Amino acid sequence: MSEASYPELRHDHALDGLNTLGLSARAAHFMRLSREAELAPALALAAQRGWPVSLLGGGSNLILAPHLDGLVLQPGFADCELTPGADGSVGVRVAAGHDWHALVMAMAARGLWGLENLALIPGQCGAAPIQNIGAYGVELAEVLEAVELRYLDDGRAETLGVGECAFGYRDSLFKGELAGRVMITHLRLRLSTRPRPRLDYGDLGRRVEGEPSPLAVAEAVCAIRREKLPDPLALPNAGSFFKNPVVPGPLAEALIKDHPTMPHFAQPEGKVKLAAGWLIDQCGLKGWREGPFGVHERQALVLVHHGGGDARGLLAFAERVAERVRSRFGVVLEREPRLMGRFD
């Protein structure tokens, strides 16, 4: 089959508007899939031409290389199906190309509990399991039942239960063993009509009163995030750039002794999670800028792109931020956004 049979196929395609960091990048070949059935022919074409295949969702947690070889596929199918279950539960099967925040707000408006704390996280649903997205004390893994996927080498389908996805803090099987090998096509979620608000994280509990609806909680989360985080459409960024570090108990004890106000959260096996944003802020870096990149003036965990920079410059800037934290606190910060493309 000739390339003319693929009307959505683009060559030397600009990706500048398809990543929230606003980095200049181009794909050698690009195709947006409007239906899951289009994946198999696209993979066949790539195999025929010898093109490596990579995936791009909403571009919200990625650092794109200036040039991406081969064929870049973007899932555009966005179907969503609800199935009532027992004891007030509702199953939700949602396609990879569905906007995550739109899903959260739609489910909250229906009075369904489970996703409301994850409002205003940018990106598509298909990317949510990769990072095991989380916010305000809730992680995706808590409401996820299964992930439907297809392998990029032969297009075969498989469904993995939540227990098979190796979920951890901002981690999953899709960042490890299956990285670059599969396309997530659908998520299966389990929500509830029964109230189960989670309001014990940060100042969320002070933003809602009485017996809130899931929509009220989602709107409160949106309000908090808008106050603290820059809108990627106005100031390009990838959200939280560094993971909150989990350190050994003795190190945490020593740091807390020297810095009594340091936020800290107990973890399994005697470890302690620290707040990366607080560490960066204590280094005097909030609002710091070098050329096109900077630390956001209100949230030190967010690195922003003022325009004109490239991926290598961003990574170098991030390394300088991390080095300042390591030098002062002895804590190593780990980057959260994934790299996509070839970085020589």
DSSP secondary structure letters along 269-321: GG-EEE-HHHHHHHTT-TT-EETTEEE-SS-TTEEEE-SS--HHHHHHHHHHH
101-112: average pLDDT: 98
Same domain, 202 and 284: no
**101 in the same domain as 194:** yes
Task: Tell me the CATH number at 336.
Answer: 3.90.78.10
Say if residue 154 is in the same domain as residue 115.
yes
pTM of the model: 0.87
- For residues 217 and 84, state if they share a domain: yes
Assess contact for 318 and 337: CB atoms under 8 A.
Answer: no
Question: Residues 171-181: what's their mean pLDDT?
Answer: 94
Check residue 45 and give its pLDDT: 94
**Strands across the sheet containing 157-161:** 80-84, 89-95, 182-192, 144-151, 157-161
Q: Of the candidates 117, 144, 127, 105, which has an alpha carbon nearest to the alpha carbon of residue 58?
A: 127
Among 1-5, 161-165, 273-277, name the one with the lowest average pLDDT.
1-5
Do 97 and 212 lie in one domain? The reply is yes
Domain termination site, one of 23, 44, 75: 75
Tens of pLDDT, residues 256-267: 999 999 999 999
pLDDT tops 60 at residue 1: no
- 92 pLDDT higher than 90: yes
* Structural domain boundaries, residue 24: 3-75
319 and 304 in a common domain: yes
The pLDDT score that the predictor gives to residue 3 is: 66
Average pLDDT along the chain: 94
pLDDT for res 303? 97
pLDDT at res. 228: 87
**Residue 57 sits in the same domain as residue 189:** no
Residues that are catalytic = 170, 240, 336
| Number of domains comprising the chain | 3
Pair of tokens at residue 323: 């080095």
Same-domain check for residues 272 and 176: no
For residue 16, give the CATH number of its domain. Answer: 3.30.43.10
Specify whether 106 is located in the same domain as 224.
yes
Domain end, chosen from 197, 228, 259, is at 228
Q: Give the CATH number of the domain where residue 101 resides.
A: 3.30.465.10
Residues 6+ apart with CB under 8 A from 5: 41
Q: What is the pLDDT of residue 7?
A: 66
Q: Please report, as a single letter, which amino acid is at residue 342.
A: R
Query: Are both 132 and 223 inside the same structural domain?
Result: yes
pLDDT of residue 8: 85
Tell me, what's the pLDDT at 200?
86
What is the pLDDT confidence band of residue 170, given thresholds at 50, 70 and 90? confident
The predicted pLDDT at position 202 comes to 76
- pLDDT band of residue 223 (cuts 50, 70, 90) is very high
Which residue among 75, 107, 131 closes a domain? 75
Write the pLDDT tens digit of every residue in 119-157: 999 999 999 999 999 999 999 999 999 999 999 998 999
172 and 65, same structural domain?
A: no
Answer yes or no: do 107 and 166 share one domain: yes
